[in-house]
Structures are given as C-alpha cells and as structure tokens.
Amino acid sequence: MTDNKNLQETIEKYNMKKAQIENLAKEMESLANTQASLDVSKEALEALDGAERETEMLVPVGVNTFVKAVIENPSKVVRGIGAGLFKDSDIKEALKETEEAAKNFENIKNKIETEFKKTAKEMEKLEPELEKMMAENRAKD
C-alpha cells in the first residue's frame, strides 16, 4: 500500500511540474508578444524623435503594417497608462519609459526562463523514478 501511495504522490508531483511548465511557457509567449509591441513602439518613437512638424512618416500600426501620416507635433505623444487612461508625454519621456519597460520585461523573461529550466530539470529527475515505480507496480500485479 505504501508503494502505491508513493507512486500516487510521485505522479501528482510530476503532473504539478508539467502544469507549471505549461503555465511558464504561456507566460513566456505572452512576454514575447509584449516585447515585440514594445520594440515597435520604440522604433516609432525613435523615428519621431527629432522629426520636424508636418513631416510625412510611415507610422507602424502592427507587425509589418504602416500608415502614411503627416505628423502635426512630433514632440508629443499620447501614451496608455493602464485602466483605459492616457496621458500626453513628450517624446523623450515616452522613449525613456518604453526603454525602461523593455528592460523590465527582459528581466521578467529571464526569471521565467530560469524557473522554466529549473522545473524542467525537476521533471527530468522525476521521470526515471516514476518509470521505475510504475514498472515495480506492474511486476507486482
């Protein structure tokens, strides 16, 4: 009975690690998408920085998608600050905030990748133990 209990506990532990891996993979994908959006924003802000009034520019509106626009005041942008709220920012401030956000996302991504690798190693350690326990359990039956 103890062997069955140990087997069940090991299976539960393995399944928890598997679920953790799946959640971490989803988080990494979400972060990659956000990072890509930040990169597009940074490129657009860099293109605007120093532009003159009434300059015609290609403004990115998505992945490899641009719109031609005449920029009325390239020194000011409107940025989302969360909860559907927006604020006017000067271009330098917006660029700095975007770069800081990109660094923060990179740090978060690195932490999640570290956790992903750690959890994957823990799963790898459990696999032979689990296989051995299952083989022993089958041999008893």
Q: Give 54-71 pLDDT, tens digit per residue.
A: 888 887 787 788 899 898
Residue in this structure with the two tokens 């490129």, named with its chain if needed: 43
Distances (CA, A) of 49 to 71, 80, 96: 11, 19, 12
pTM, full prediction = 0.71
What is the DSSP code (8-state) at residue 84? T
Residue 3 has pLDDT above 80, yes or no: no
Percent of the chain having pLDDT more than 70? 99
| Domains of the chain, earliest start first | 2-140 (1.10.287.370)
Burial class, 98, CB count within 10 angstroms (exposed 0-12 / middle 13-18 / buried 19+): buried
Q: Are 40 and 63 in contact (CB under 8 A)?
A: yes
Structure tokens at 15: 């399944």
CA distance linking residue 24 with residue 70, whole number of Å = 42
